[in-house]
Amino acid sequence: MKEKKLKIDACFSPHLYPVYKDNDSIVVIIDVLRATSAICVAFEYGVEKMIPVATVEEAREYKQKGFLVGAERNGLAIDGFDFGNSPFHYMGDHVKGKTIVLTTTNGTQAIEAAKGAHKVVIGSFLNIDALCSWLLSQNKNILLLCSGWKNKFNLEDAVFAGAVTDKISHGNDNYKLGDACLALMYLYQMAKENPIKFLSHSSHKERLAALNLKEDIRYCLTPNQTKVIPIYKDGALVKL
C-alpha cells in the first residue's frame, strides 16, 4: 500500500486561516517585511520572550506596566514605544534576557489567528535553513501562513513561502503540495536569482522604499543570519 503523504500548503491571509486550519499542522508565520525578520533577530540577540499582541491598546497597557514594547502600524514605529518592527531595532545587548511585547500591522495578527494550532513557529529568510531542517525533522503537515498586507496577498511573503516549499520538497517525495505551494514554488524559482529586483514592483516594497527602508529590505531578504526558531508557547514566543 502506498504510504500517505504529508501535506504542505500555504494560506495568503490571516483572514483566510480558518479555511485552512486543522488540528495537525505546524503553522509557520511569515511576515518577511518586517515582523518575523525582527523577531528572529531579537532571539538571535538573546531576547528571552516576546509577547505578540493584536492591538496598540494592549501594547500600551503592557508599556504602562513597565514592559519593553515594539509597536508598528503602516510601516512606522508608533511614538511612545521602545521599538518599531525594524530588525535593526532588536540588534544589540539591550534586548538580551528581556521580555518584549510586540504589535505590528500584519505579523502579530497572523500569530493571533493561528495561536490555537498544534505548533506555531516564526519564519523569515534570516532563519530559513534552520527552519526547514526542523520542519523536515518533525514529520508533520505544514501550513505556511503569510501575513500579507492588511489581509491582502503580498509578494514577499509569497516568495518566502515558495522558498520554503522548494527546500522542503526538493528531492523529497514525502510531501504533497497544495495548489498554493505549487504556484509559490514556481514564483520562487523566478525570484531566487535576484529577490530584491523581483520584488521591486511589490506594493509593500514601494511602501517601505518611500519610508527610506532600503537597508531593512536588503537585510530581511538575506538568508541564514541565524539558526534560532522562535516558537509560540503559552501566549508568548520563546526560543525552540
Q: Can you give the binding site for a second copy, defined by CB under 8 A?
A: 9-10, 12-13, 15-16, 19-20, 149-155, 158, 177-180, 182-183, 186-187, 190, 201-204
Contact criterion met (CB below 8 Å) for 182 and 67: no
Nearer to a second copy, 91 or 182 (CB): 182
Identity of residue 93: D
The CB-of-34 to a second copy minimum distance in angstroms stands at 16
Nearer to a second copy, 123 or 162 (CB): 162
The CB-of-105 to a second copy minimum distance in angstroms stands at 14
The CB-of-173 to a second copy minimum distance in angstroms stands at 12
The CB-of-180 to a second copy minimum distance in angstroms stands at 4
Nearer to a second copy, 41 or 114 (CB): 114
The 3-class SS string of 2-54 reads CCCCEEEEEECCHHHHHHHCCCCCEEEEECCCCHHHHHHHHHHCCCCEEEECC
The CB-of-214 to a second copy minimum distance in angstroms stands at 19
Nearer to a second copy, 14 or 52 (CB): 14
Identity of residue 114: A
Task: List b or e across 180-203, with b for residues whose CB sees 16 or more CB atoms inside 10 angstroms.
Answer: bbbbbbebbeebeeebeebbeebe
The 3-class SS string of 87-128 reads HHHHCCHHHCCCEEEEECCCHHHHHHHHCCCCEEEEECHHHH
Nearer to a second copy, 99 or 169 (CB): 169
The CB-of-221 to a second copy minimum distance in angstroms stands at 16
Classify 66 as helix, strand or coil.
coil
Angstrom CA distances, 200 to 58, 121, 128, 195, 214, stand at: 34, 28, 21, 8, 11
Going by C-alpha positions, the residue among 146, 202, 116, 187 that lies closest to residue 9 is: 146
Nearer to a second copy, 71 or 155 (CB): 155
